[in-house]
Amino acid sequence: MISPFWTGLRLAAACLIAAAWQLGADGAAWAQQPPPAAAPAPGAAAPAPAAPTSNAMTNPSMAGPLVANPDPMHLDITPFFGPLYVTGAVSGLALFQTDPVFGNKGANLDISNAQAILQTTSGWFQFFFEPGIYSFPTVGVPYTKMPATVNGTFGGLPVAWGKIVFNDNFNIQGGKLPTLMGAESAFTFQNMNIERGLLWNQENIVNQGVQANLTTGPVAWAVSLNDGFYSGQFNYLSGSATWTVDPANSFVLAGMGPASRVTSAGPPTTPAAPEFNNSMMIEAAYTYNAAPWTITPYLQYSQTDGDKAFLPALVSSSTFGGAVLANYSINDNVNLAGRWEYIGSSGAGTVGGSGPLGYGPGSSAMSFTLTPTYQNGIYFLRGEASVVDLTSFTKGFGFGTSGGTSTQARFLIETGIVF
């Protein structure tokens, strides 16, 4: 049987071909996406013809500072589907860390992304496929290299869905969908920082299921029936509401939880103990986005029931945390992003007494990350420095080969293309 890693490697070859195609074009003429032109005042004379507007893809979502190609490649397939857009990301990273845990290395070279993205954006039926290979560098946890990540999580096709569009305000998706939870996305090129954070590490990444999306005025609603932490048991309900106050200000409230108890640990992507599949989570976030700043503070609470799902009186562990993500655009090519976060826990959990954070019962942690980024056309280069401080932990569950160290620092370099 061919492993998901080798399947993903073959599928990722498509992104290399597409990247080579794009490199033949003039991609250096853009850096940051221009803002949309303002609408003319009522009764004003018609404006002169303008240059074509950006057609940069909105999927996958990108929080910046990296930006999507505003002139993506496309193939005209059939009148039924419309243009097929071909985009993607290819990147590698170098990671250096102090006090690696037992079995982890102090230095790592790896592929962080090699993915092609194929999607349609018009018509009553649309689709999205993201074949390829990837890694999930995350502060505070051992680094897992790309082959083991692909084989142990979502295989060579981590995200894939079809969508039936009823009208401009309502559609239904089905397939392998990105989670509705959190302020950080799955892959490095989507986020402000190279590494994902402590709060992200509590969330699910991809789930299998169906999702309905409805827009009513300034509020976008989404509700999903899915398998939560990729358990293969379709008993999770999740939802979100996004209120866009104006172009610079928006609020998001999201939540998820099981409608019935998950009884099997499921595939390798599921946490080791089935109790962690029976957790509920709520989050609230605010985003301010007006040049040169993008700032997103958010709060997150989760609780896990060790005996019966969704009954707070029987909770075995819980977490509460907050984070602030920010990016400052120095100029069209250079950005500086940062993240601060704190998360605390209660209860011993069920995985060897390590608690829901993995640092022991009742543990807590704080992290700070700084990420300068340079992007010119499709090319990017960014560095990163991060530090995690375990403000409370159990000896044996900390950093270092013996698990007795409370602090870990990391330094990363990532470079590649977003085409």
Global confidence as pTM: 0.85
Q: Which residues contact 34 (CB under 8 A, 6 or more apart)?
A: 54, 70
- Report which of residues 164 and 40 the model is more confident about: 164
Instruction: Report the percentage of the chain scoring pLDDT > 90.
Output: 68
Give how far the C-alpha of residue 49 lies from the chain's centroid of Cα atoms, to the nearest Å: 38
Determine which of 143-152, 204-213, 258-267 has the lowest per-residue pLDDT on average.
258-267
Residue 123 Rama label (left phi>0; alpha psi -120 to 50; beta): left
Q: Is residue 314 helix, strand or coil?
A: helix
Torsion of CA 54, 55, 58, 61, to 10 degrees: -60
pLDDT tens column, 48-59: 333 333 456 889
Residue 40 has pLDDT above 90, yes or no: no
- Strand ranges in 330-394 using DSSP code E only, listed in sequence order: 334-346, 364-376, 379-392
> DSSP label at 277?
G
pLDDT bin (cut points 50, 70, 90) of residue 30 is very low
Whole-angstrom distance, CA of residue 326 vs CA of residue 337:
6
Closest CA to 188 of 21, 55, 337, 357: 337
Whole-angstrom distance, CA of residue 144 vs CA of residue 92:
14
3-state helix, strand, coil split of the chain in percent (to 5) is 10, 45, 45
pLDDT bin (cut points 50, 70, 90) of residue 184 is very high
Whole-angstrom distance, CA of residue 304 vs CA of residue 280:
7
